[in-house]
Structure 1
Amino acid sequence: MSQNLQQADLRPFVSAKDLTMIISAIGAYSHNPEYRDLHERLQHQAITWGVIRSS
């Protein structure tokens, strides 16, 4: 199964506040490449949705 299909299958509801908190919490682990990648993807999505501003 492709990665795009897997991402499309999982669309949990997360409020703007929840997403901001998740990004903040994951940021503490940004020294780890796997968490850094996740942090960057979530941050990009939050910017796209207008939840946070780009820095």
Structure 2
Amino acid sequence: MHQNQTDLRPVVSAKDLAMILSAIGAYSHNAEFRDLRDRLQHQAVTWGVFREG
């Protein structure tokens, strides 16, 4: 059975998400990491983990 990427919903704590965002921030010169960081940051704002700005 093949799962679509949108079907995956891992459980990540606010602290874990902050650590992930911090770690991938070091690679923001790479467009793929920058895109991932932006998507995760948007999700973090949506979840109330971070504020926009």
Identity %: 73
CA-based RMSD: 1.2
| Residue-pair matches, total | 51
More helix by share: 1
Q: Structure 1: give runs of 5+ residues left out of the alignment.
A: none
TM-score, L = length of structure 1: 0.84
TM-score, L = length of structure 2: 0.87
Q: Structure 2: give runs of 5+ residues left out of the alignment.
A: none
Q: 1:51 aligns with which of 25, 49, 52?
A: 49
